[in-house]
Amino acid sequence: MKVNKFMTLRLMLSTIMVLGFASCSKKSSSSNTSRATGWNVNGKKTSGKQEAGPGLVFVEGGTFTMGKVQDDVMHDWNNTPTQQHVQSFYMDETEVTNFMYLEYLDWLKSVFPPSEESYKHIYEGASPDTLVWRNRLGYNETMTNNYLRHPAYANYPVVGVNWIQAVEFSKWRTDRVNEAILEKKGYLKKDAKSNDVTAESSFSTETYLISPTSTYGGNEELVLKKTDKRKKPKTSKDGAVEEEKNVYAQRSSGVVLPEYRLPTEAEWEYAAAADVGQREYNIYKGQKKYPWSGSYTRSGKRQSKGDQLANFKQGNGDYGGIAGWSDDGADITNEVKKYPANDFGLYDMAGNVAEWVADVYRPIVDNEANDFNYFRGNRYSKNKMGKDGKVEIVTLETMKKDTLSNGKVIVRSFPGQIAQVPVDENETYLRQNFDKSDNINYRDGDKQSSKYYDFGMSESNNDDESATKKMYNSPKHNVTTDSLGLMVRKYDKSSKRTTLINDDVRVYKGGSWRDRAYWLDPAQRRYLPQDMATDYIGFRCAMSRVGPKSDKKRSPRN
C-alpha cells in the first residue's frame, strides 16, 4: 500500500514537470521569436486576415469552364470553351452608381478647381459623357440633363464612362479608402483627408508605402504617427529618456488594402456564373445559362413567380414589358439591388448595364499559354528614380495627359503619385516568364502570329501592302494639337483596313437594358474602343485576395 502511494506521488511529480517543460516550450516558440534564427524580432502580432474593402463581396476562387455558352447561333470563334482557374478575390456588390461617381467628381473639383488653367482638363476628363443618351430619332433629353446628377437616379449605375475613366476612378478609390483606414489607425492626422488636401498636397497609397515623407507634399505634420503617449517613455542605460520615433504603416503592417481595379474577364465571368450554387461535392451539376439557376428569365419561386430576374430588352420596341405586374420594372437602367443576387451575393451580373473588364480583346483565350488568373493586357512598369536615387514624384508640370481619339483630354497621373516607367532589361534579362514591358500581343496579334510573318521585315515598314497583311489591321485615327493649342483631328479614310481590333479595344461583359436575353449569358463577350462611352456600359471594381483561398472550414455539401 505504501509502495502504491509512493509510485502515485512520483507519477504526479513527473506529470507536473512535463507540463512545466511544455509551457516553457510554448513560451520559447512565441510569435516574437524567429523560427529561422531564434532571435527575438519584437514583431507586433497581426491577424494577417484581409478585411473586405467598402462595397466589396468575397468571391472564393476555383476552376470553371470559361467561354461556354448555351446559345451560340453564330458558331463564333469568339467563345471557345477553355478550362481556367481563378484565384479568390473581392468584387463590388453592385455596379458603381451615380452617387459613388459623383463623390469622385466632387473630390476632383475641390482639389483641382477646373476654373484654374492648370487643372481644367482633370475634372472635364473624368466627367461622364451625358450626351450618350441622345438618339437621332428619339427624345431622351430628360436623361441627358438629369440621369447623372438628379437624386432620383442616385442609386442607378453610372453610364457614359469609358474604360480609361473607369480605371482612373478605381485608382482614386484605392487612395481614398486607404487614406481613411490609415487615419482611423492613427497613422495620419485626423481629418487631413478633407481639411488639408490640396493639388500639391494629396495622399497616394504607393507614395506612402515607398516614401512616406513625400506624402501630402512632404508635410510631416499630416503623415507621421508618434509612439503611444499612454506608454511610459523608454530610458537608456544611463537614465536618459530616449527620443520618440516616428512610425509608418507598411505592407507588413497588414492595414493597407490592395488596389481597387477593374476585374479581369475571367474573374468577371466566374463571378457572374456563380457555379458554386450548382456544386455537389467536387463537381458542378451542369452549367448555368444565366447567373441564376434555370433556363428562363422569370422567377419560378412561389413568392415571386413570374417576376423578371433581370433588366433587359424583351423584344422589338419592348424594353420592359407591358405596364403592370409582368414587366421588369424598368425601361432604361434600374436602381441597383432591384433584382435577386446570384449565389456569390452579387447583383445585376446580367442586365441593367453591361460592364467594362480589364482585358484587351482578342478572339481567343489562349489557355495553352496560361490557365491560371488569365488576363491579356499586362504592361509592366516600375517606379521612376531621380538622379538623387529617390523615387520621382509627379508634379503639376509632369502630370501625364492623354488625348483620346475624339479629342478629349484625360489626366492619368496626378501630383503626389510616383512616376512610372516601363520595365527594361534590368528586370527582364534572362527571365523566362516575361521578356518585355508590353505583353498585350503575346502569342496573338503580334507579327509572329501572322501567316505573313517575315523574320527580316522591319517594324517600321508601314506601307499599305504590309498593312493589309497584318493580323489586326485596324483604322488609325490621329489627334494632334497645333501651335495655337487647337485640336487637329485626322480620320483614317483608308479602304484597306480589315478589322476593328487593336490594342486599345477592351472587353465588356454581360447584357444590358438595351440587349436581348441572348447577351445575359455570362460567357458572352463583346468589345469596344477603350476611349468610347455608351448609355449601356458601366463598371464595377474588384480587389485581389491576399492570403488563404477561404477562411471557412470545409464540410461536405449535398
**CATH assignment of the domain containing 358:** 3.90.1580.10
Determine the Cα–Cα distance for residues 63 and 86; give it in Å rounded to an integer: 6
Judgement on whether residues 494 and 514 belong to the same structural domain of the protein: no
In a domain, 245, yes or no: yes
Q: Give me the pLDDT at residue 530, please.
A: 96
In a domain, 44, yes or no: no
Determine the Cα–Cα distance for residues 122 and 423; give it in Å rounded to an integer: 27
Judgement on whether residues 480 and 430 belong to the same structural domain of the protein: no
Q: Give me the pLDDT at residue 87, please.
A: 96
Judgement on whether residues 69 and 168 belong to the same structural domain of the protein: yes
What is the bridge-based pairing of β-strands 62-66 and 525-529? unpaired
In a domain, 158, yes or no: yes
Chain-centroid distance of CA 138 in Å reads 35
Determine the Cα–Cα distance for residues 555 and 558; give it in Å rounded to an integer: 10
Alpha-carbon radius of gyration of the chain:
29
Judgement on whether residues 464 and 428 belong to the same structural domain of the protein: no
Q: Are the beta carbons of 504 and 346 closer than 8 angstroms?
A: no
Residue type, 497: R
Q: Give me the pLDDT at residue 246, please.
A: 62
Task: Give Cα separations from 551 to 56, 129, 274, 280, 547 (angstroms).
Answer: 16, 42, 19, 20, 9
Partners of 478 in the beta sheet?
Answer: 490
pTM of the model: 0.88
Judgement on whether residues 60 and 174 belong to the same structural domain of the protein: yes
Cell numbers describing residue 523: 460567357
293 DSSP 8-state letter: S
The residue written with cell numbers 523574320 in the block is 455
Partners of 157 in the beta sheet?
Answer: 97
What phi-psi label fits residue 69: left (phi over 0), alpha (psi between -120 and 50 degrees) or beta?
beta
Domain boundary (502, 535, 552) is at 502
Judgement on whether residues 472 and 374 belong to the same structural domain of the protein: no
What is the bridge-based pairing of β-strands 82-86 and 89-92? unpaired
Residue type, 67: G
What phi-psi label fits residue 443: left (phi over 0), alpha (psi between -120 and 50 degrees) or beta?
left
Task: Give Cα separations from 174 to 95, 127, 203, 263 (angstroms).
Answer: 16, 19, 10, 14
Judgement on whether residues 419 and 476 belong to the same structural domain of the protein: no
Determine the Cα–Cα distance for residues 403 and 488; give it in Å rounded to an integer: 11
**Residue 540: count of CB within 10 angstroms of its CB:** 29
Q: Give me the pLDDT at residue 28, please.
A: 44
**Residue 315: count of CB within 10 angstroms of its CB:** 9
Judgement on whether residues 357 and 460 belong to the same structural domain of the protein: no
Judgement on whether residues 334 and 226 belong to the same structural domain of the protein: yes
Stretch (H or E) spanning 345: none
Cell numbers describing residue 12: 504526479
Cell numbers describing residue 160: 457614359
Judgement on whether residues 300 and 164 belong to the same structural domain of the protein: yes
Cell numbers describing residue 343: 449565389
Q: Give me the pLDDT at residue 546, please.
A: 93
In a domain, 5, yes or no: no
In a domain, 40, yes or no: no
Cell numbers describing residue 514: 438595351
Determine the Cα–Cα distance for residues 263 and 248; give it in Å rounded to an integer: 30
In a domain, 41, yes or no: no
In a domain, 37, yes or no: no
Average pLDDT by stretches of 10, the chain with 558 residues = 53 54 48 63 61 92 91 82 96 97 95 90 94 96 96 97 97 95 90 88 93 89 64 60 68 92 98 86 78 84 82 92 81 95 95 97 91 96 91 90 85 91 94 93 71 56 55 82 77 86 94 95 95 97 93 66
Partners of 354 in the beta sheet?
Answer: 537
| Cβ contacts of 177 within 8 Å, gap of 6 or more | 53, 54, 257, 260
Cell numbers describing residue 292: 441564376
Determine the Cα–Cα distance for residues 296 and 381; give it in Å rounded to an integer: 46
In a domain, 284, yes or no: yes
Determine the Cα–Cα distance for residues 106 and 41; give it in Å rounded to an integer: 45
Total of domains in the chain? 2
Judgement on whether residues 193 and 159 belong to the same structural domain of the protein: yes
Judgement on whether residues 277 and 327 belong to the same structural domain of the protein: yes
Residue 204, domain extent = 56-230+240-379+386-440+503-544
